[in-house]
Amino acid sequence: MPHASRTATPECPDRDRAAADRLIARAQRTIPVDITALAESLGLAVWESPFLPPAISGKLFRDPRHGGASGYSILVNSRESYTRKRFTVAHEVAHFLLHRKRLGEGVAEDAWYRSDFAVSEEREANRFAADLLIPPAQLARWTRSGVTDPDELARHFEVSSRAMRIQLGQFRRDQEE
C-alpha cells in the first residue's frame, strides 16, 4: 500500500515493554478482552476493509497519516468472521510488540498468517496472540469455576473453538510440568 513520503514519517515513539505489559494486564481483567481498545492504547489504529484480497487476513503497516500514536495501523479483512478478525488484530499486536525492529513499512498476512516474517516469528506471534485473547490466568479461573467445555469457553472469550482447544491443550501441558 503506498503511503506518504519517507520524510513525513515520524519516528515511532518507542513505548517501553513494561508500559505495554501494564496495558495488556489491565485489558485482560475483563473477558472477552477488548483487543481493539488494547491495540489503540498501544498506539495502533485499527481498521476494517472489504477491499483486501480474499487471501489476505490482515496487515500491519506504517500509516503516518491515519495510524495511531505509533504511526502504524492494523487493517483487517472485514469479510472474515468476528473471532477471526479478533485473532488477526491480536496477531498484528504481537508482531508490533515482538518484531517491531524488523517491521519496516509493514507486513501483510495470508489466511495462514504467512508473511515476510520467518515461520518461527509467525508461530511466536500466534502464541502471543492466543495468550492475549485467552490469558492463562483467566483460563485457570474459568476452568476452576467449572466451565470446561471448549465451545462454551470459546464463546465467553470470543475466540474460535479451534483457538480455544489449542490454548486449553497448552494450558494442560503447562500444568503437568
Positions that interact with Zn ion (CB under 5 A): 109, 113, 115, 122, 125
Least separation in angstroms between CB 120 and Zn ion: 11
Question: What are the cell numbers at 91?
Answer: 496477531
Considering the complex, state which of residue 33 and residue 125 has its C-beta at the smaller distance from Zn ion: 125
Least separation in angstroms between CB 29 and Zn ion: 27
Considering the complex, state which of residue 63 and residue 109 has its C-beta at the smaller distance from Zn ion: 109
Name 118's Cβ contacts closer than 8 Å, sequence gap at least 6: none
Considering the complex, state which of residue 28 and residue 88 has its C-beta at the smaller distance from Zn ion: 88
Least separation in angstroms between CB 151 and Zn ion: 26
Considering the complex, state which of residue 80 and residue 122 has its C-beta at the smaller distance from Zn ion: 122
Considering the complex, state which of residue 80 and residue 109 has its C-beta at the smaller distance from Zn ion: 109
Q: What DSSP line would sit under the chain, residue for residue?
A: ---S-GGG-PPP----HHHHHHHHHHHTTSSS--HHHHHHHTTEEEEEETTS-TTEEEEEEE-TTTS-TTSEEEEEETTS-HHHHHHHHHHHHHHHHHSGGGTTTEEEEETT---SS-HHHHHHHHHHHHHHHS-HHHHHHHHHTT---HHHHHHHHTS-HHHHHHHHHHHHHHHH-
Question: What are the cell numbers at 154?
Answer: 470459546
Least separation in angstroms between CB 96 and Zn ion: 10
Least separation in angstroms between CB 58 and Zn ion: 9
